[in-house]
Amino acid sequence: MKAIANNKEIKTTWPKKSNTVSLTKHIKRYWQLYAMLILPLTYFIIFKYVPMFGNILAFRRHRPGMSPFGEGWVGLRYFKMFLNDPAFWRAFKNTLTISLLNLIINFPIPIIFALLLNELSGIKFKKIVQTVSYMPRFVSTVVVISMLGEILSPSSGIVNNVLQNVFGINPIYFMNEPEYFRAIYVFTDTWQFMGWTAIIYLAAITGIDSQMYEAAMIDGASRWQQVKYITLPTIMPTIMVMFIMSIGRLLSIGFEKVLLLYTPQNSGVSDIIDTFVYRIGLLQSNYSYSTAVGLFGGIIGLLLVYSANKISKKMTGDGLY
């Protein structure tokens, strides 16, 4: 008993092995991977984080030839100015309308396309369809609008030729009419980004365990039931992440495309926040005013992302962070 008691009193301390490698050793071991991060990190620092300091102009008065960060504090003066500006609210309304229309139409289309593409059995044909669908992503926006201008031209465009020769309809200047602007914008986005975005969903689908489908087939599940109860629930985290990112871009739609499609005739529906900032800031040199508008849009986007992420976590359990 004494021996046992003595053994209990003895505390043996063994040297603990650390499973974590110091950061310095880790960098030395995988220095090639860290070296590859230099360029993207430099890009984000220079073009994303450094420009954030320019937001101080929203609270200071900018004067040409003086400090780039403005002269003298003016508080919320510029925020009150654009909140009382009807032109801003028109641009805000147009931005929301185009973004929501684009979200409703072009968010589910890549998902549906990926599901359909996954059902193709011919590997060669599947690769051809996938390649053809995502190639427009690499076409410049300027080239896309130029092609669209030729196709929709009232004099030599193929669309107007068909309408005139087949249906007897007078030529329509689609690029100049306000009622066609939103449809043209959404259509070009579908053509350009459907196949590219579908790649993300296809990658998620290919990661699904094939044994789940085999078990479903044994139980007599149809193809639609397999998609409904296996594919869609499995890729739901990916869908929710893409949805949250799309919500965050509601107030920052394609500036280049809108600017190229913009005309004085369709300005009532094509003037968005980005073109409003471009016109006020660069063309009229009112940098403080345009900075306040841009900062307002960024804050709204941040709130939208945060809200969408919260709702997504409560409803599905998945979120961006």
Tens-digit pLDDT profile for residues 93-109: 999 999 999 999 999 99
CATH of the domain at 294: 1.10.3720.10
Evaluate whether residue 140 is within a structural domain. yes
Exposure pattern of 123-140 as b/e (b: 16+ CB <10 Å)?
eeeeeebbeebbebeeee
Report whether pLDDT(270) > 80. Answer: yes
Tens-digit pLDDT profile for residues 122-163: 888 888 998 899 899 999 999 999 999 899 888 878 998 888
Helix (H) or strand (E) holding 73: strand 71-73
What's residue 195's pLDDT? Answer: 92
Phi, psi of 261 (to 5 degrees): -85, -10
Q: What is the mean predicted confidence (pLDDT) over 273-294? A: 90
Evaluate whether residue 26 is within a structural domain. no
Q: Where are the alpha helices (DSSP H) in the chain?
A: 2-9, 23-29, 31-36, 38-44, 77-83, 86-106, 108-118, 123-134, 141-151, 158-166, 178-206, 210-218, 223-226, 232-248, 255-261, 267-270, 273-278, 287-316
Evaluate whether residue 227 is within a structural domain. yes
Structure tokens at 12: 């043996």
Tell me which of 97-106, 228-237, 243-252, 311-320 is least confident.
311-320
Q: What is the mean predicted confidence (pLDDT) over 259-268? A: 89
For residue 151, the Cα-to-chain-centroid distance in whole angstroms is 28
Domain with 204 in it = 96-316
Angle between helices 232-248 and 178-206 (to 10 degrees): 140
Evaluate whether residue 124 is within a structural domain. yes
Evaluate whether residue 178 is within a structural domain. yes
Q: What is the mean predicted confidence (pLDDT) over 111-130? A: 89
Tens-digit pLDDT profile for residues 189-231: 999 999 999 999 999 998 898 899 999 999 888 889 999 999 9
Evaluate whether residue 179 is within a structural domain. yes
Q: What is the mean predicted confidence (pLDDT) over 4-25? A: 52
Report whether pLDDT(171) > 50. Answer: yes
What's residue 21's pLDDT? Answer: 58
Say how many C-beta atoms besides its own lie within 10 A of residue 16's C-beta.
Answer: 6
CB 289 within 8 A of CB 82: yes
Q: How confident is the model at residue 305 (pLDDT cuts 50, 70, 90)?
A: confident
Structural domains of the chain, count? 1
Evaluate whether residue 41 is within a structural domain. no
Q: How confident is the model at residue 188 (pLDDT cuts 50, 70, 90)?
A: very high
Evaluate whether residue 159 is within a structural domain. yes
- Residue, of 3 and 46, whose pLDDT is higher: 46
Report whether pLDDT(11) > 60. Answer: no
